[in-house]
Structure 1
Amino acid sequence: MTTATDDIELFAVQPRVSLEDYASAATFATRHRELAARVDALRARDASGQPRHPALAVWPEAIGAALLFQGHVPAVRAKTSFEGAVKRVAIAEALDVWRAWSTHHPPTLRECVYAARAALVHRTLWETFSSIARDFNLWVVAGSALLPASRRSPDTPDFEPHGARTYNTSYTFSPDGRCVAATRKVNLVPTQEDVLHLSPGRPEDLTVLQTPFGRLGTLIGYDARARPHTREEPWFVPCAQYLDALGMDILAHPSSASAFDRDDTGKPHHEPGHGADHQAQLGALKRVRYVVSSQAVGKVLGTSLAAPSSLLERTPSGAVRVLAQASSPQDEDVLHATVPHP
């Protein structure tokens, strides 16, 4: 439990990831509980040792994507692409992949693998972050993973795919360990996520949660951007403005940036934008007070991840203030700020 307070604590978790983190459910859980312990060590406490303020911790986008490879890390370690690793798992799990195809008839091999592995991916992600939220008394936005819709409620470790359309999905957990929201990414990054055969979420399904520290919304990666990267995306939805209009006070922003991303001019960019660009977007909003933007760093299957996490505040005057920013886009970090209730 937490003591009565007018302040909240915000944490952006910036893990350094490697393929070995995904060898099993146990290794994944151990890795992220270590990070949660770092969060816990930074929290303010009262005389009895209880956390003084409610706290929100955000993990980065796609932190659960490589959970597809549980049990197959030695076999996929030499692969240099996500596609190659998925094909290797498809061979190893041929019977389950065939069952997924015969049940859901997805048009691509990737979607067969996503559906075949969905129950395992969901359970590992759910059990890891549900226990972190409960054991460390945190509100947790658990990054994201690639998952179909489920016939069951998200507030259970059990999972039954409802078709094979697969979404970049984020779960939010309350301090009692309940999964209180599932968010699907609406805007897929051209040439990156569309080639993964993902489906876009619907903007009308985005919601804000009432929490003890205000109204919380989650936008995954590109969805926090005000404008598309390229001129070839007429379907782009400015999701941050949409949730701002719904009264969002705090934006949880799990994100993931490849060091080699390029926009349509050939210049490097980080998805969905950070630094001055990210601050300008926040300044244009009307209601949002804080943004917790978490990035992963490291390298998995040939993809390098490099962008700094940040904590931002939009002041009453509309100016944007950096509360904290990772000192390096290559090193593991946990950002922390204690701020007034919005």
Structure 2
Amino acid sequence: MIDVEIRQRIGDFQLDVGFSGHGGITALFGPSGSGKSSIIKVIAGLTRLRAGRVVLDGSVLAEGGGRHTPPHRRRIGVVFQEARLFPHLSVRNNLRYGRLFTPRGEGRIAEAPVIDTLGIGHLLDRHPATLSGGEQQRVAIGRALLASPRLLLMDEPLASLDTARRLEILPLIETLRDEFGIPIVYVSHAVEEVARLAAKVVVLEAGRVAREGAPADVFRVAADRFEVVSVVEGRLGKPNDAFQLTPVETPAGIVWLTGIIRPEGRTAHVLVRAIDVALATRRPESVSIRTVLAGTIAGVPEGPGPSVTIDVTLDGGGRLAASLTRASVAELELMPGRRVFALVKSVALDERPV
């Protein structure tokens, strides 16, 4: 468990935040310049804390105007945007470098499982210059893990990679989260990464916490209707090989994704943009849209403007946001408590980060 309180000025920027993480992945989300990387530097000990405190598992690592545990004594692993590997060392020796800062008897993470999980066994005798960006980032993650850290900080670890390499690394981070049990503070401005990985999201704006909570709750709130997204959770079903579709099974209905996605049975998080959701008051028939989710309207905001974003409580739990014109709301007599069916085109969903 980590508790963070930071109140200090960095140049012309004022940072005033407080949050906690209780295992799993806590994501710091926000636009560039919102303070995400500055927080990571304070937690890691790379920036001295002026006011506030950083507490990890009950141990005070930093306290404003007082205690400052040096970075190498904090037992915190850090993975940056760039791999920052030592060019003169082989992959094997880059990995083992992390162990130099592990106190004797506390090296609880073995080398072989890390190498196997990250799929880098065939790279051990190569040097960083011969690796792809994705391979370098795998090695950087392995080096941080082999220090047996109490906490792992990941500062935009996928930002410098292309889409293919990001999709390659995302499942590995999930595996680290689930198999090694190390709490992670993960920095990103990519909604799809955060929604897939995080148990808790802390949204930052101009150095302050704007809101925090589960991804499904946090991303339903946005000033711009084009930015409102929902996270629908379900389990991957058996793919339809003939039509290249994969079902995500939820109590409210099936979300159909294009392409074949495996393994069957794993939990999946699907991002649905509010502008891609239509509502019907009866279950539709003879339509091309395959994803139909049953639910009840939770609320219809009042206010000016031609459009409105409605919250739908899905059967079995979960929420889905739908952006509609106010004319449609009036014509369909949509109001809290009314049963509706949410329609989403499969081709509007991005199946790649699922």
Higher-helix-fraction structure: 1
Decide: shared fold, TM above 0.5.
no
> TM-score of the superposition, structure 1-length normalised?
0.28
Rg comparison, structure with higher value: 2
> TM-score of the superposition, structure 2-length normalised?
0.27
Higher relative contact order (CA 8 A, sep 6+): 1
Higher-strand-fraction structure: 2
